[in-house]
Structure 1
Amino acid sequence: MADLSAVEICAGAGGQSLGLELAGFDHALAVELDENAVNTLRENRDWDVRSGDVADERVWNPKEYVGIDLLAGGVPCPPFSIAGKQLGATDERDLFAWAVELAGKMQPRALLLENVRGLSMPRFSAYRQHVKDRLKDLGYWSDWQLLHASDYGVPQLRPRFVLVAMRSEDAQWFEWPEKTPCDGTVGSALQKLMAANDWPGVEKWVKKANDIAPTIVGGSKKHGGADLGPTRAKAAWRDLGVDAMGVADAPPKATDPVDFLPKLTTDMVARIQGWGAEPEYEWNFTGRKTARYRQIGNAFPPPVARAVGTSIANALNRKGEPKELADVENEVMHDRLYLALKSAPTALTEKELVKLSGERMDSSTFERRMAMLARDFVINEDDQLGGRAYRLVGFKGFIGQEGHERHVRFAEMRSRIS
C-alpha cells in the first residue's frame, strides 16, 4: 500500500489518529483545542501537532496542505447530541459545515468526518442534505453510514455517524468496511486488568460482565468529574458488575471481597474503547485522571477508524474493482420540505410548498417542520394575497465567515469548550 498523507482536525487524544496510521496514512498535521489531548498526541507521536482553535488560521494555514490525500476529523458532537439541546448550526461548537468548506479550500482526495448518532436523526435531515449538496458543488461524491463499534471488534456499542467524501474517480473503488463483530465481552476484555492486584472475585466478576459495554460517555468541561454516563447507562453498567458512579485510581485489591462492585480505571476504559488489546493499539494518555478519562471517552475507537481508513486507502490506491457510484452509496432519506424550499425560484405559500414536497401534512405539522428548519436555515416570510410565503435565503452555520457570531460565542465559552 502506498504511503498516504493526512491532515486531522479536532484530533482529540488520537483514536482516529492511530486508526488512520494503522490504515496507512502518515499525519502531515494534527490540530486540537484541548491542551491535555495535545500533550497526549505529542507523547505518542512525533507529528506536527498544533494547539488552538482549528478555525483560526493563526494556528495553521490550510493553504499549505492543498492536495492532501485525506482531510479527517471528529468535529464537536454537542451540536447534534441527543443528550443535549441539538442546536445544530447555531451552536458555537458546530464545525461540520465549516469542515466541508475547508475541503473546498484544501481539495483533498478524500474527506472523513465522524460524529454522534444524533446527526442521523430526522431533526438534522435538512442539515445532512445541505452538507451533501455542498460537497457535490465542490466536486465530491459523498455518503453517510451509521457504524457501531461492536461491529468492528470493539466490546462496546458506540454508534457513530460517519461521512466519507471522495472525487468520483476514486469513489468508484470505495466500499464501506465489512463488519468484524466483537466476539468478546466486558469481562473477557478486562479480565487481566481486573486481576492485576490479585482480586479474588475476578472470575466471578468476568462471568457477570458477559456482554458488550454501553457507550462510553466522555463528557465535557461543562460538567463535573468522570463517570460512565447518564442514569440508563449506569444501570447497564451495574448489570455488568461495574460501579459507574466514578472512575477508580487502581484495580480492585486482594483484600476486596469476592462480591465487590468495582469501578473502572482509565486503562480499563481505554481497553473498552479499543486501545491496548494488541501491541499495535498501545497508547499513553497524559494529564490527571478526569482529563485522561475525557480524552478516552470522547474518542473515535481506533479499530473503527482503522476499518474506515482502510476502505478509504483502498479506494485511493484503486484496490479491487470499480463500481457504479449508485451501487456504492447508501440511500438516506432527507427532508422533502427542505428540498422544496431549496428548489423554489421564488417565495411559495404553505399550500405550494406542501404540493411541491409531495408530502401530506396539515398546517400544524407544516408550522412545526418550518420551525425546525428555521433552527439551521434563514427563511424569509412575507404576507401575500395568497397567504404567507416562504423563501430559503441562507444557512445559519459557521462556514468560515470572519464576522460570524460564532467567534464571539466561542471566545466567551472558550474555557468550557472541550
Structure 2
Amino acid sequence: MWDVCTLLPILILAMKSIEIFAGAGGLGMGAHRAGFEPVLMLEWDRWCCSTLRHNFSNSITLKTPQPTIIEDDVCNIDFALYEGQVDFVSGGPPCQPFSLGGKHRAYADTRDMFPQAIRAIEQVKPKAFMFENVKGLTRASFSSYYEYIKLRLEYPSLSRNSDESWIDHLSRLEEQKTSGNHSDLHYNVVARVINAANYGVPQKRERIFFVGFRSDLGIDWHFPEEEYSKDALEWTKATGEYWELMKVPFSERSPATHKPVSGSLLFKKPWITVRQALEGLPDAEQDPKGATEFLNHQFQPGARSYAGHTGSPLDEPAKTLKAGVHGVPGGENMLRRPDGSVRYFSVRESARLQTFPDNFCFHGAWSEAMRQLGNAVPVSLAEKIARNIREALTISASA
C-alpha cells in the first residue's frame, strides 16, 4: 500500500513518452492515463492518424498538451532527436508476421518492424519501454527469433552488420549476454503472455508484452498480478449472484461450464462479461434511434455463423476481436444471443470490449474502424502495466 509521501512524487513527476506503431491509440491512451505525457505518436495508416488527431487533441480525452502526431513510415524517423528528452517508449509492431491468421513468415516478412522498434530504443535511450505483440510470436517455430528479439531489446546498441545473417547476429548477442559485459546501452527485459480477461478486460485476448528498464537504474520489477479469473465468474453463476446482478431471466441462464476450484476464488474477481461491458448501450439493431446517442454505434447487417465463427456469448468475456486482414473484419467479431442468433458488434460495442471510453471517436467506415479496434491494445490493460512501470521509475528517481 502506497502512503501519501510515496504517492506525492508519483503525482507530480513529469514523464514524457513516445508511442510508435500507435494504431488507434489504445496503448498510448493507457500510458497517458498512467501518468505519462505523450510528446510523439507515430503511425503510417491515414485512418488511424485521423482517429489519433481527433481524440488526442480533445481536452476531454487528453489532460496534457497535445502530442505531435506524425503520419509516416517509422523507417523515415530520426529518433535521436528525442534522446534524453523521453522516459518511456511503447508500441505494437505489426503482428502479421507472427499471427496465427497470417503467413507466419516472421523475420522473412517485410512487415516485421521489431528492428525499427529496437532502433527507436537505441536512439532515444529511454528509461523504460513496453512493446506488445501476438501470442503467435511464442510458437515453437519462432522460438529462435523470439530469443533474438528479446536479446536485441536487451542490447539495442549491438547492431547487426550489413553482411551478417540474423542467426549469426543471434550468436553474437548470446556471447554478449554470457560475457556479462554491460558497458554499452543495456536493458533488463522481461516478457509475459497475458490474457486481458485476467486484468478486467471483457475479452479473452492473449498477447505477449515485452517490458524493459535501463540497467543503470537498478529497478526490480514484475508484471502486475492478475486480479480476475474464470473460476470466480463460474462461481457467481453457480450461486446465482451473477444472474441476479444482471437481471437475466431464467430462460437465458446458461449452466456453469465447469466446477470452480474454491481455492482459486479467494483473492480473485469474476471475469467481466460481454453483457456487463455493453450495459447501458441500446441494441443498434432493435433500437436504432436510441443508438444514435452514442458515437460509432450503428447496426451492421450481414452477420452469419459458420464453422469456426460462432460469435461471443453474452455471459463470458468476448472472444478476441480481430482486425480482419483476410476479408470481413474478424468473423468472430459477433455477438451470439442466448437464442443462438448472431449479429456483428457495432464499433462502439467493440470499443467497450477494448475498454476505450465512450467519447473516443473512430474514423472511417465500419470495416476500417473494426480493423483499428482489432489491432488495438485494451486501454485499461495498457494503463495497468504502464502505471506499474511509472511507479517503479518514480521510486527510482526519488531514491
- TM-score band, normalised by the shorter chain? 0.5 to 0.7
Contact 1:147/1:161 (8 A) holds in 2 = yes
Alignment partners' CA distance in 2, 1:86 and 1:259: 34
Amino acid at match of 2:92: G
The 5 A counterparts of 1:79-228 are 79-137=97-155, 138-170=185-217, 172-181=219-228, 183-195=271-283, 209-220=314-325, 223-226=326-329, 228=330
Q: In the superposition, relative to structure 1, how do residues 127 and 260 fare at CA in structure 2: closer, same or farther (>3 Å)? A: closer
The 5 A counterparts of 1:311-390 are 311-318=388-395
Q: In the superposition, relative to structure 1, how do residues 135 and 191 fare at CA in structure 2: closer, same or farther (>3 Å)? A: closer
Alignment partners' CA distance in 2, 1:163 and 1:321: 25
Structure having the higher Rg = 1
Question: 1:51 aligned to 2:71?
Answer: yes
Three-state SS of the structure 2 residue aligned to 1:19 is helix
Three-state SS of the structure 2 residue aligned to 1:262 is strand
Amino acid at match of 2:187: Y
Give the alignment partner of residue 345 of structure 2, picking from 238, 253, 264.
264
Contact 2:129/2:212 (8 A) holds in 1 = yes
Give the alignment partner of residue 81 of structure 2, picking from 52, 64, 69.
64
Alignment partners' CA distance in 2, 1:261 and 1:82: 24
Contact 2:271/2:316 (8 A) holds in 1 = no
Alignment partners' CA distance in 1, 2:321 and 2:340: 24
Amino acid at match of 1:37: C
Contact 2:95/2:134 (8 A) holds in 1 = yes
Contact 1:6/1:28 (8 A) holds in 2 = yes
Alignment partners' CA distance in 2, 1:162 and 1:241: 33
Give the alignment partner of residue 283 of structure 1, picking from 346, 353, 360.
360
Write the deviation string for residues 388-407 of structure 1: whole angstroms up to 9, x where unpaired: xxxxxxxxxxxxxxxxxxxx
Deviation at 1:187, TM superposition (A): 1.4
**Structure 2 unaligned regions, length at least 5:** 1-9, 57-65, 156-184, 229-269, 288-311
Deviation at 1:157, TM superposition (A): 0.6
Alignment partners' CA distance in 1, 2:29 and 2:219: 26
Alignment partners' CA distance in 1, 2:374 and 2:218: 32
Contact 1:115/1:162 (8 A) holds in 2 = yes
Amino acid at match of 1:315: A
Three-state SS of the structure 2 residue aligned to 1:55 is helix
Alignment partners' CA distance in 2, 1:217 and 1:39: 21
Contact 1:14/1:41 (8 A) holds in 2 = yes
Deviation at 1:169, TM superposition (A): 4.1
Amino acid at match of 2:90: A
Three-state SS of the structure 2 residue aligned to 1:318 is helix
Deviation at 1:290, TM superposition (A): 1.4
Alignment partners' CA distance in 1, 2:356 and 2:218: 30
Q: In the superposition, relative to structure 1, how do residues 28 and 122 fare at CA in structure 2: closer, same or farther (>3 Å)? A: same
**Structure 1 unaligned regions, length at least 5:** 200-206, 243-257, 323-418
Deviation at 1:17, TM superposition (A): 1.0
Three-state SS of the structure 2 residue aligned to 1:100 is helix
Give the alignment partner of residue 12 of structure 1, picking from 23, 27, 46.
23
Normalising by the residue count of structure 2, what TM-score does the alignment of the two structures yield?
0.66
Amino acid at match of 2:205: R
Percent identity reads 32
Hey, what does 1:241 align to over in structure 2? 337
Number of matched pairs: 285
Q: In the superposition, relative to structure 1, how do residues 170 and 264 fare at CA in structure 2: closer, same or farther (>3 Å)? A: same
Write the deviation string for residues 272-310 of structure 1: whole angstroms up to 9, x where unpaired: 11113xxxx741111222111111111011011101111
Three-state SS of the structure 1 residue aligned to 2:344 is coil
Q: In the superposition, relative to structure 1, how do residues 305 and 259 fare at CA in structure 2: closer, same or farther (>3 Å)? A: closer
Write the deviation string for residues 232-264 of structure 1: whole angstroms up to 9, x where unpaired: x47xx56x329xxxxxxxxxxxxxxx9864332
Give the alignment partner of residue 382 of structure 2, picking from 291, 297, 305.
305
Alignment partners' CA distance in 2, 1:17 and 1:304: 11
Alignment partners' CA distance in 1, 2:351 and 2:113: 26
Q: In the superposition, relative to structure 1, how do residues 192 and 259 fare at CA in structure 2: closer, same or farther (>3 Å)? A: farther
Normalising by the residue count of structure 1, what TM-score does the alignment of the two structures yield?
0.63
Alignment partners' CA distance in 2, 1:113 and 1:214: 22
Deviation at 1:145, TM superposition (A): 0.7
Amino acid at match of 1:241: R
Deviation at 1:144, TM superposition (A): 0.6
Alignment partners' CA distance in 2, 1:309 and 1:25: 8
Alignment partners' CA distance in 2, 1:120 and 1:178: 21
Moved more, 301-310 or 175-184: 175-184
Amino acid at match of 2:319: P
Contact 1:190/1:271 (8 A) holds in 2 = yes
Amino acid at match of 1:186: V
